[in-house]
Amino acid sequence: MFLLTVSAILLVGALPQPTWAAEGAALAGRVVDFQQQPVRRARIALYLNGEEEPYVEGESQRDGTFVLDLPDEPVDAVRLEISHPHFRTATWKATWADLERLNDGSAVRLPDIVLERQLTVGFWIATLTFLAVLLFIATERLHSTMAALLGTAVILGISLVGRPINEQLFIIDFEQAIEYVDFNVVFLVMGMMIVIGVIEETGIFQWMAYQAYRLSQGRVWLLVASLMLLTSVASALLDNVTTMLLVAPITLQIALTLGIDPLALLMPEVLASNVGGISTLIGTPTNILIGSYADITFNDFLVNLTPGVLLAQVALTVYVLLVYRKQYRAASAAASPALLAQLEENARITQPDKLRKAGSVFLGIIVLFILGEQFHLVPAVTAILGAVAMLLVVRADIEQMLRVVDWTTLMFFIALFIVVGAVQEVGLISYIAAGIRLLVGDNLIAATLVVVWAGAILSGVIANIPFTAAMLPVVGFLTRSLPGASNKVLFYSLSIGAAMGGNSSLIGASANIVTAGIAERAGYPITYRTFLKIGLPAMAITVTVGTAWLFIHF
């Protein structure tokens, strides 16, 4: 019922909202920043006849618009004062022509009022807090959710306590902060958690990995290619972390059965999983963020990125076959019957009946993702409907399944949206966007290269989820302002850069970290250096292929 209610709320939320309208003498206008972006919650004070106290005050809406009604009596002078904590105050005065119209009882539409940004103390606090959150996550000094929550607490706490002392300390208030939370992302992630939670206990991934081993009949190159394809497709349809958590243990056993270094199979798999996830909206959290922000559908990702991903996978497969050729040549089939029996036992489908039902529902979910855009079904609703269907068909224990929902992860997203919203509010993101715009000029090719490669390189150093969340408004600005960028090529560039960039270092992607965790518990640690040695060239190859694809396709 809860999930159905949520679905209904999301459906209602997707409907168009009413716009402002004015009757009688009124002033209507729009407040924007220097990038022509609407400024919401700007305070607009209307002064009449040279009086010191405002006649009426209002606030600009989400789209920057405002409407202020004037009295019925004639007025001699009209002045507007537009203020916002993060901008310099602007003033507008009515001309004789404006006054004439207003005194006739007509509405006057003002030209866009452009506010100039100002660097407040709040700007520096928000910026430093954002950087600290990134640092805490990258260095693992704090759990990522804790780091994001701490950032949120600092930002809201200083805004709340500091504002009465000094207006300069204000960053963002609670209502504004909540407006930055993208609940489409939160509910999509939550729905998919339940769907995946049911599927992952069936044993299907392990069985498929074992089939790859069995069918390759000792030809290691074929096994490697099959395992890479498996993890790539599974990552695209579910997510890469789950895929690696389930496939890595059985892969390790397959490697030991063949007498080869397990890292020679695990590394190709994790590299492939990071690349494969890019194919779909639900394959990586960065795609979920991008899809929701830029209104890029499941089909858009499939059509615009899958061919590029396939090309990158081919290049990646050739690369790993070359890099690990010595290990693969050393493979032998010397495992004892007991070990082979153990491997087969560990790779069996544990719940065939549940797999049949869950598989059918999952197929339906994918079809709904593909067809949903025909009737404006937002992905979050598809995921929630899918989760409800999964729970009903599989008859899963609802208590257990709701425990599957990782509230820590959802809190991470919510807190992250608030922290990123804060730096957006104070203007940091605008400055970054303006800097990149200045750097690339009107050159879309240069902009594509900057977004892809900056994304790829930075994703290896800082976590790609907060990086992507922060880059979305930047890419949004570039998309609106650059000639020829309206096909959203820069958002696809961000998707490729952020996800493929995760291959460059151990901390670049969650799938890398969990794979290293499993390998370490089996006595085959993947060090930062080991990963860098294999992953960095892999990143360079796949990002090059990905970039080439973008240039060909767009």
Binding site for another protein (CB under 8 A): 137, 140, 143-145, 189, 193, 196-197, 200-201, 206, 239, 241-242, 245-246, 249-250, 252-253, 256, 285, 336, 338-339, 342-343, 346, 404-406, 408-409, 412, 463, 465, 510, 513-514, 516-518, 520-525, 527
Residues 371 and 139: their CA atoms lie apart, in Å, by 42
Least distance to another protein from the beta carbon of 528, Å? 9
**Residue whose CB is less far from another protein, 1 or 338:** 338
**Residue whose CB is less far from another protein, 244 or 478:** 244
**Residue whose CB is less far from another protein, 351 or 481:** 351
Residues 497 and 468: their CA atoms lie apart, in Å, by 10
- What single DSSP character describes residue 53? S
The dihedrals phi and psi of 254, each to the nearest 5 degrees, come to -60, -45
Closest Cα partner for 285 from 553, 514, 494? Answer: 494
Least distance to another protein from the beta carbon of 503, Å? 16
Residues 306 and 308: their CA atoms lie apart, in Å, by 5
Least distance to another protein from the beta carbon of 539, Å? 20
**Residue whose CB is less far from another protein, 285 or 455:** 285
**Contact between residue 219 and residue 227 where contact means Cβ atoms under 8 Å apart:** no
User: Helix-strand-coil percent breakdown of the chain, rounded to 5?
Assistant: 70, 10, 25
Closest Cα partner for 382 from 280, 245, 305? Answer: 280
Query: Which of helix, strand or coil describes residue 59?
Result: strand
**Residue whose CB is less far from another protein, 125 or 271:** 271
- C-beta contacts of 392-400 below 8 A and 24+ residues apart: 393/357, 393/358, 393/360, 393/361, 394/198, 394/354, 394/357, 394/358, 394/361, 396/198
Burial class (CB in 10 A: 0-12, 13-18, 19+), 399: exposed
Least distance to another protein from the beta carbon of 196, Å? 8
**Residue whose CB is less far from another protein, 125 or 518:** 518
**Residue whose CB is less far from another protein, 380 or 516:** 516
Least distance to another protein from the beta carbon of 510, Å? 4
Measured between its terminal Cα atoms, the distance across the chain in Å is 44
Q: Which residue has the tokens 């820069």?
A: 490
**Residue whose CB is less far from another protein, 50 or 523:** 523
Going from the C-alpha of 125 to that of each of 42, 84, 120, 121, 467, the distances in angstroms are: 21, 17, 9, 6, 19
**Residue whose CB is less far from another protein, 39 or 149:** 149
Least distance to another protein from the beta carbon of 408, Å? 8
Least distance to another protein from the beta carbon of 409, Å? 5
Least distance to another protein from the beta carbon of 397, Å? 12
Least distance to another protein from the beta carbon of 1, Å? 22
Least distance to another protein from the beta carbon of 524, Å? 5
**Residue whose CB is less far from another protein, 255 or 436:** 255
**Residue whose CB is less far from another protein, 485 or 519:** 519
**Contact between residue 499 and residue 278 where contact means Cβ atoms under 8 Å apart:** yes
Count CB atoms within 10 A of the CB of residue 210. 21
**Contact between residue 504 and residue 541 where contact means Cβ atoms under 8 Å apart:** no
Q: Which residue has the tokens 């392990």?
A: 206
Closest Cα partner for 270 from 509, 457, 542, 532? Answer: 509
**Residue whose CB is less far from another protein, 133 or 294:** 133
Helix axes 285-294, 489-500, angle to 10 degrees: 170
DSSP symbols for 99-140 = HHHHHTT-EEEPPPEEPPB---HHHHHHHHHHHHHHHHHHHT
Burial class (CB in 10 A: 0-12, 13-18, 19+), 38: middle
Least distance to another protein from the beta carbon of 193, Å? 4
Least distance to another protein from the beta carbon of 492, Å? 23
